[in-house]
Every structure is written in C-alpha cells, then in structure tokens.
Structure 1
Amino acid sequence: MSGSTLNTKHLIRELDALKPDMFPLHPHALSKADLYIKEMYARMLAAVLLVDGKVSETEHRLFGMLLRSLDLLQSQATFIEQAVALDSAQLRAFMRVIKETKAESCFVVDALVLCRVEGQLSNLQTQLLTEFLDFFQLPEHEVAALLFWVAKILNLPVEIDIPETALQKLSIKQFKDSNINLTEYSLGKIYVQRGEYVTAGQKVVRLILNRDQRILHFSLSSQEQVRPVIESNYAGLVYSVHLKIGDALKANQTIAMILPFNSATNAWLEFI
C-alpha cells in the first residue's frame, strides 16, 4: 500500500505549475515587439528578481505568467540563468532599446509587481529600481500613476495622491443642438462614483431639462447620437466626482476626473 500512497506535495507542485497555462495574463503591451526586444526585457526583469540572490516560488510562477503574456516560450530558468551573466554592454543595450520602444512604464509596473507580490521591497530592490527610474526620467505625475496602478494590481492599500496632470477631465463641452440652452438643464442622476471604473461609451450622468423634466443622456463616447457631448472617450478609474444631483450646469463644467488606463498595465488588467 505504501507504494500507492498519494504524494500530496508533488501533486500540489504539479497543480501550481499548471497555473501559468490555465490562468494566463492578458497580452502584454510588448507582446508584438521583436523577439530580441522581448528577450532583453525578460532578462532584465529576471535580474531585478535576482538582486536578493533568490527567487521565491510565487515570484517564479508569476514571472512565468508574464513570459507567456509577452508571448515568450522560454522557461523562467532560461532568463534567470542569462540574467546572472549580464554585463555592462547588455545593460547599455537595454537602456537604449527600452527608450526607443517607450517601454519604461511597462518595466516599472512589471518589476514592482514581481518584487512586491510577497511583501515590501528589499533595500537592494529599492536601490536598483531607483537607479532604473533615474535613467528612465519619467515625469513625477506618471510615476505616481504607475505606483497607484501597482497598488491596485496587488490589492494593497492605495495611499498615493495622483497629481492633476496625470488625470483626464470629463466635462460638458457643448450641446450638438445649438438651439438648446445649457443653463436650462440640471443634473438628474450620476451613474459613476469615485473608485469605480468607466469604459468608453458608458453612461455617466442623466440631465433633466428644467422646463418639462425631459430627460437626456450623455456618455464618454462622442459617437453616440445624443445632444450633450464630452471632450474625450477614454476609459479608466473615476478619481473624483465634481457634481452632485440637482446642480445647475455650465459650459465646460467638470463632471469628474478620470485616471486613464495605462498600456503598462495591459498584462495585469484581470487584477485591476
């Protein structure tokens, strides 16, 4: 009977190994890039993981899922072995390529998610990622937005204030019907709240015509056949709402501020 005893630990490891294939991430923003670029990118992520001298099982598995998202067939071990042998020429080539492909934001998000999946960054990881940020020279508002999304992906408490320069203003621009007087309308209903997500074309508020309570709708999509129009048709997170029900409306009045989705988070959308 002992020869037939179930090896529970082995079974758990085998099931765990299936997760990257059974529960894939979304396609990465670089999934269609040249193979050379993607391999260099994965090699540098492996180097970040290795800075503490070890890679945990969770980090290893998540790295494998990210490789599939990048449409890379090589194993995690391949890139980890290559990362050990990184030299200054390869690092210089990486810095050149990542700027040419404008993938700095992707690297920041992926590196932070991989390194923080099991807790706080180590001192060495913090130092290395700080060096990368110094080289990337991303605007402060963009870094703040990326840190915000990383916290969302990892389900961490969000304690980051997003500068207004990183947000998009959702506002009333004008009515398509020039015979309509905007001041005759008030806000009847709000369909979105702070912390909720919006998609292009989603209904945002309901307007009430003060004269006869006739109802009109307008949305994020400027393509809909509706009288009021919006400045843009993006998607993202509602960061703040600036109107309340019953407010009178004015031209160009701000409805809400939206933190747009960033292509750097494409692979991780399932967790946002």
Structure 2
Amino acid sequence: MPGTAREPRSDVDLLAQTVTAVRAAGAVLHERFGEVVRYETRDELMRALAANDDVALDVLRPRLTRLRPQARWVDDELEGGALPGGEWWVVDPAEGNVNHLHGLPDWAVTATLVRDNQPVLTAVHVPLRGETYTALAGGGAHVDGRPLRMSGAESLGLSLVATSQARPDEDEAVVRRVGSSITAMLRDALVLRTSVPATLHLLDVATGRVDAFWQFAGARADLLPGALLVAEAGGSLSDAEGRPWTPASGSFLAAAPGVHAEAVATLSR
C-alpha cells in the first residue's frame, strides 16, 4: 500500500522505491491515454495538461515525500538554472504531456533526486514501452536491470543525431540558434531526428540507439534525468561549445565519446 513505504536505508534502496513511485504514476496516466484530447484555445490546452500533471502528482508527491521528507520540491517543471543547496526532488509527472494528449506514445514519468546541485539518482518510466530506466551516481545506468552502454560511433557523418524543442514560445534568439544548429547538423550528420520530449531522446543516447542529442535552453526536469543516465552509461556531456554542463547552462549536448568533439564543432559554427 502507498502509505506503508519504509524509510530507505541507502540511495540504492531509495532508487528502488522511487521506481515503484514512477511506475504507479505511469499506470494512472496509462489509464487516461488513448483518444486525442481536443482543445480550441490556449487556456483549454493548459487545463488539459494540468489535469494529467495533477493525477500523476497525486501519486508521486506523497510517495516521494515519505521517502525523503527533508527534500524540497521543485514545483515548476519548466524551471531551469541552479538550485539552492540540499536535496530536491525534480519531477516531471508527464514528460511529453502534449504527446499524451495527442494520442502519441512518446511520454514518460520522471523523478530525479538532486543533492547540492548534483543528480544522485533518477527513475524514468515509459509506460507504453513497459520500460523503466534508472541511474545512480557512481552506480551505473540500467533499463529494467540491464546495464546501458553508449554507442561506439566515431564519425558524425555516420551518426544518427537528435534535438528537441525545450518549450513553446521560446524567445527569438533561441529560435534562431535552434534553426541554425539543425541546418548545420543536416549537413554534417547522417540522419537528424526532431521531436519532443528531450528525455526520450536521451534514453536513446544512453542505450546507444542515437549517437548525440543537443538542445538550447531547457528545464531541469527535461535534462537532469537523461544527463545522469548518459553519464552513467559512459557518455560525454557538455554545453554546445564543449564547456562543462550544469543546469544553469544555456545549451546542452550529450554524445557518444567518439563523436562528441565533432558535434561540438558543428554546433559551434
């Protein structure tokens, strides 16, 4: 029963119980999935998105709060930047929510524990795939218990790459930078995929199905789960110019080590 979760003894134990929470929230969203949700105004769209968030949060918030009562909660999933010290739950109750509303399968539930601005564990449940991805800082990355390994790609010209739109209504400078980066990657990479959400692309990078992913701007909840998964799977993380990535960075790049430098060169043009 949800109210009987025991106090975790270690981060390994905490991750296992976090998995239980994201799977439970995913089951609730799965029950709501199917027909396209129609809307005619931005207000109607926002209410539909909020309804999905609320039903998942009703499952996640009490469970995660019981697991880590001292951890604070990031209430706005679109927020970016560094966090104050201490522990924080960074949660996206319906990552890819707009896909869920449109009857598309690309959505997930994520929960990441951040400690002094470092992600220490994450769980990502993808209900329609029946998969749960986990990572523990220093403990590796897994999907349903199987270890994840990055692609061995060594040429950007032979690579499948991906990018995502961080949010609607992005400012003009970011929109122009996104457009120019896509043009550059269309020239230098083999094939380019563009879709939302970022987390599902990063799952593909961590499993070696995709060789590189980049994004400009972005929220913590978009990038932290995948960043930890990619790092623990042996990938390279930076901003688009090759500098160390933090949640305060203005861009993000995750890539197989063999193509990271080429991807930086392409995105820096």
Sort the TM-score into its range (normalised by shorter chain): under 0.3
Q: Which structure has more helix as a fraction of its residues? A: 1
- The normalised TM-score by structure 1 is 0.23
Q: Which has the larger radius of gyration?
A: 1
TM-score by length of 2: 0.23
Quick check: which one's strand share is greater? 2
